[in-house]
Amino acid sequence: IYAQIIDDANGRTLAAANIKEIKGAKNNIAGATEIGKLIAKKAKEAKIEKIVFDRSG
């Protein structure tokens, strides 16, 4: 499981999170929840206030 925050206009990844970053996390709903928390933390650290969810690119 992974998540990315991408600036499409400039073609840059602003933040990313991967299940492998979380010790003991499983590839399931609980793991997805933890990825959501981690990407939100990274977004806050990068001062990102708004995102648009795009599942398919």
Give dist(CA 19, CA 3) in Å, integer: 9
pLDDT at 15: 97
Take residue 3 and report the two structure tokens written for it.
């998540």
pTM for this one? 0.83
pLDDT tens-digit map of 14-33: 999 999 999 988 999 999 99
In 3D, which of 56, 14, 11, 57 has the Cα closest to residue 39?
A: 14
pLDDT at 57: 59
Q: Is the pLDDT of residue 56 over 80?
A: no
